[in-house]
Chains A and B, each alone.
Chain A
């Protein structure tokens, strides 16, 4: 399942004047089922750049019935994003099929109000989700509050505006701009950040009509935390908030230390015994023992390295890719897990 497949690029399109690049993949007939996705899921890509293997996860920026597309924002001095910008149609890229638990499954007869809070390239999964709602949840409504530094850096702007024209009765779009240019005619809904005041104002302007309300957040880690805190201070229960962080989440060292442990790992039908040092993550320990398990972002964001804890306990430094309910059911991210009990059982096969 989590294997790399070579896919041919059918289109490479520069966005926002070259500051981002969209890649559209040609999925051959026999891989169509494998590459089925839910709005909000990612692809992991593997590149060889200067002889070094680089892996990155990118959210699919199209809804499930449209072509398989990712949109990569140019990062200053970013090796991978520059490499991506240099790709051409016909090139082949190695890709792990879509996965991720930050996804919106449309309910055709559901009646929901979805609030989306995004900033920067955090729009990509939200864009896919908004499309899914507008197309496949005809009785639901979507509100987007979208933060950017300035007007030129707004990703997918025309496409969002087109959605607003087409679905004006079910979709509202609000731009929040933190450093507006003096020379722009563009007047955003609000200046500043997607903070508590902006969130409260948006909800008050367009309060939920459908009462099954869901909140989707995608931006850098700090914004996610702030939006979540703001929502919870307005009585929004945890279970209705879904988020994923985007860009710049280095594994934070939260000061918790693990213990030296022996782990029994079930992988591809076989059990392996490995030793874990106190400061070693499960992924590091596996790699040190020459075992290869799926992984991608190594920062707890993508969920590729997910496994099931069957015995003992772990501490996760970062756990963006998991919902609280997953964790309650024993899910763990191996790239983030330190052992906190001396024996550990983990399973990668389910």
Chain B
């Protein structure tokens, strides 16, 4: 019998076989985050994204509609598709210059008569269609040309995601980053949705919000979370916000949902952030952070920074100080909640290989972890039934 980690066997976090199954049944069968709408700003622009086992290609036509295809040239399968030409009316593969129109139809094959004396039936060699749609300013792709709509997928959780309209905000480029965590993607998700750890691991880094008053729950496989500002922070909230507001008053608090699979949002009075989790291996996970702030003048930014300075100058500190810290690089002395989380995730992953591992009871604030494990199991089961 394998050791259980609540609802899942420990292998779910360590074995290549589980990783492969999740790639196939979860990440290749669901709506994947592909970027922000700004990433495809106008006709002729295109991007490609890896979504589980599929590489998908998104291009915008002159009608401003996005099209998505599997980035597989129907000749030799090469992942090389590009949009070219002044009007970007054609998609082409530079390997042998096979060319497709914006609906994916193969329209030209060079030296057709000479190279294919038997003829090529272009009508059955179109690019394979996939799906793309936009939700709250984010691009999502699905490998299936007829998937459940984003309304079916996110409709029920949407009212819990906060009053933010990302379309009105501007990206804060300096906050864009990507890094890898040496842990399974589910460990990272579990850390993100663990309500219990907030007042402990982050005792001195996230206490501007009142974790004891957090409200959280599920809509299908999607987790939602909201907590109000702590008394100290709320006393002079408008003055204390580090940057200008992105939502109208009287809305306050932090919305930190985790959409399935691995699409974390973190939104508050003054910012809207993305935390995209992509599994790279059983014990390696990529994080992509993007951040949007108010579309306000630099004067308004300076004003807000100035007014909030007195609150933030003494705010926060290291989890362990002085003698308790293990030198300068100790994440527990970093004063940075992300460093604290990454460290916790990696240390937990390491523990999973110990023959002596035994998981203790789950706290109330850890109930989301059990729910997420359940969501993973249910999604895979449903997909397995389909195939």
Contact = CB atoms under 8 A, between A and B. Distances in A.
Interface of A: 107, 109-111, 138-139, 203-204, 207-213, 231, 234-237
B134 A237 contact: no
Contacts of B150: 111, 139
Contacts of A204: 64
Nearest to A138: B151
Question: Top 9 closest A-B pairs, CB basis?
Answer: A235-B61, A139-B151, A207-B64, A234-B62, A234-B63, A111-B151, A111-B149, A211-B133, A236-B63
B149 A110 contact: yes
A212 B131 CA distance: 9
A72 B51 CA distance: 53
Chain A contact residues: helix, strand, loop or mixed: loop
Given A203-B63, A235-B62, A110 B151 contact: yes
Contacts of A212: 133, 149
Contacts of B151: 109-111, 138-139
Contacts, number: 51
Given A107-B149, A234-B62, 16 more contacts: A109-B152, A139-B149, A139-B150, A139-B151, A207-B64, A208-B65, A210-B133, A211-B65, A211-B66, A211-B133, A212-B133, A212-B149, A235-B61, A235-B63, A235-B89, A235-B102
Interface string B51-88: 00000000001111110000000000000000000000
B117 interface: no
Nearest to B139: A211
18 contacts: A109-B151, A109-B152, A111-B149, A203-B63, A207-B64, A209-B134, A211-B66, A211-B131, A211-B132, A211-B133, A213-B63, A231-B63, A234-B61, A234-B62, A235-B62, A235-B102, A236-B61, A236-B65
Contacts of A209: 134
B155 interface: yes
Interface string B249-264: 0000000000000000
A213 B65 contact: yes
B103 interface: yes
Contacts of B89: 235
Contacts of B62: 234-235
Which of B63, B64, B103 gathers most chain A CB within 10 Å? B63
Given A111-B133, A237-B103, A208 B155 contact: no
A204 B41 CA distance: 12
B220 to A, nearest CB: 13
